[in-house]
Amino acid sequence: MTEAQTNSAQPPPVTGADLHLELHGSRLRAGLTAALRDAVRTGRLAPGTRLPASRSLAADLGVSRNTVVNSYAELVAEGWLTAQQGSGTRVADRTEPPPATPEPPSAAPNSRRPRYGLLTGIPDLANFPRSQWLAAARRALAAAPNDAFGYGDPRGRVELRAALADYLARARGVYADADRIVVCSGFHHGLALIAHVLKERQVRAVAVEAYGLDLYRDLLTNAGLDTPPLAVDEHGACTDDLARLPEAGAVLLTPAHQFPTGVALSPQRRAAAADWARATGGLLLEDDYDGEFRYDRQPVGALQGLDPERVVYFGSASKSLAPGVRLGWIVPPPEMIPDIVAAKGYGDYMTSTLEQLTLAEFITSGGYDRHVRSMRQRYRRRREQLVAALHQRAPGIRVAGMAAGLQTVLDLPPGTENSVIQRAARRGLAVSGLAQFAHQAPDARSPQPPRDGLVVNYAAPSDSAWTGTLEALCDAMPASAIGSCSHA
């Protein structure tokens, strides 16, 4: 290792202005020595840290240089510091036993971390377009006006809102312009804003699909809203039943690709939902979480196009790019925007400007479209491989839902869901059961019939783990569904 490499591995020197010391007592040298010793003992000054020159530290502390020199010398003699010609004064390397920490539950002898995972919510993170995103970030940063680094419009940067308006109109059939869009930090943040606005408007309940994420039902409940369920069948949510829910002032839907059952809301039920909203003054909350990904035909357009004045449209980069980007968007009726902006002021007033400008550049340069097309092909191949593996290894299992999105449902024989999940766990595979997503109101007049199934996210596994994941999944299927070539 060269001398330059050796020096680069050391912590940077600490200037006097960077070194926080509290001197106590009337004796300056004793107080300085004690403060330095305490900083080293507690780890605030790490081993190898170069301390300020004695003249610099003395000037900053308002003491004589001799006081600092003598204090350094005493700590060198005690072994807390080292001093070498040309290297300055540094914190000495000290070997101390690590503090005892309790063993985390995941490290308990009888527990095993899953080797494979098919849990929902995560896209293919390994294929995030790093180089293209970095190039877009550089271009966006170079072109950013000075005011982009200040406190801006809580609706979001106009560059991103304009880019989104064009993209959503072109790709999703959404009626929008830049002034009609509010940028947020993802769907969860956007739904929280709308829940606050609805509660302020005296809405008592938001109907939800009988299958969905409890995270969002809990968000609505915590905002003081009831969440009566709408049954879901092969045609999507039963929106005709909204007429039986007079307390509902809004309904949360995933019309392009129902989560998690994977069906599309039929045209008749889309029309019924829009008719209900117009007749009652209610709102349709459209979660278009993976609307770009359909594999057997062109993606179904957004529900918002039926009646832009009665639909609050939500989109995000969480599935198309990655959850870590933390960008989402709301396209509400214009009259709601002041209330949404006011609600935003209570929490996340602004979303990262640099991330917004980067996404705007990524969209306008064509990078976003290219990435979505690439991932559409990738996810389609994954789904086809899943279907083929099950056809060969577990022919008794039906892959439900349409060819779209990042996940699908595997229908299981009645009464087998829990046993299949346990069999999968023994094979190192983490997967969710359909029952985990079911929502049943205590006083439901027409309860959703029970259904056994697995919700399989085929997008998430890495390429290296994909073959093993399919093996573990097929091996976990019920004996009645496994074909003769199984080695379970």
Q: Say which CATH number the domain at 278 has.
A: 3.40.640.10
Domain co-membership, 224 together with 289: yes
- Taking only the tens place, the pLDDT of each residue in 135-154 is 999 999 999 999 999 988 99
pLDDT band at 355 (very low <50, low <70, confident <90, very high): very high
Averaged pLDDT, 253-276: 96
Could you give the angle at which helices 65-78 and 28-41 cross, rounded to 10 degrees? 40
Instruction: Return the pLDDT at 481.
Output: 73
pLDDT for residue 287 is more than 90: yes
What's 86's domain CATH number? 1.10.10.10
pLDDT at 369: 97
Mean pLDDT of 21-44: 85
- Say how far apart CA 30 and CA 291 lie, in whole Å: 68
**Claim to verify: residue 145 and residue 208 sit in the same structural domain:** yes
Q: What is the mean pLDDT of the chain?
A: 89
pLDDT digit string (tens) for 40-98? 988 888 898 888 988 888 888 888 999 999 999 999 988 899 988 777 899 998 755 44
Provide the token pair at 46. Answer: 């790490």
| pLDDT score at 321 | 96
Decide if 419 is inside a domain: yes
Q: Tokens for 371, please give them.
A: 């990435």
The confidence band for 11, taking pLDDT boundaries of 50, 70 and 90, is low
Does residue 106 surpass a pLDDT of 60?
no
Q: Do residues 185 and 295 both lie within one domain?
A: yes
Token pair for residue 170?
Answer: 């072109």
- Domain extent, residue 62, equals 11-91
Strand partners, 457: 407
Q: For the ranges 96-105, 249-258, 311-320, which has the lowest average pLDDT?
A: 96-105
- Of 368, 395, 417, the residue that ends a domain is 368
Q: Return the pLDDT at 58.
A: 86
Mean pLDDT to the nearest integer, 351-368: 96
Split at pLDDT 50, 70, 90, the class of 324 is: very high
Q: What pLDDT sits at residue 10?
A: 53
Q: Residue 276 — very low, low, confident or very high, per pLDDT cuts 50/70/90? A: very high
Sign of the torsion angle spanned by Cα atoms 236, 238, 239, 245: negative
- Name 42's Cβ contacts closer than 8 Å, sequence gap at least 6: none
Q: Which of 60-69, 198-207, 343-352, 379-388 has the lowest mean pLDDT?
A: 343-352
Give exposure, 278-312, as e/b (b: 16+ Cβ within 10 Å): eebebbbbbbbbbbbbbbeeebbbbbbbbbbebbb
Residues 60, 142, single domain; the answer is no
347 in the same domain as 248: yes
DSSP string spanning 21-81? ----SS-HHHHHHHHHHHHHHTTSS-TTPBPPPHHHHHHHHTS-HHHHHHHHHHHHHHTSE
Q: Once rounded to an integer, what is the mean pLDDT over residues 467-485?
A: 83
Residue 12 pLDDT: 57
Which residue matches tokens 């009259």? 335
Q: How many domains does the chain have?
A: 3
Give the whole-number percent of the chain exceeding pLDDT 70.
89
* CA distance from start to end of the chain: 53
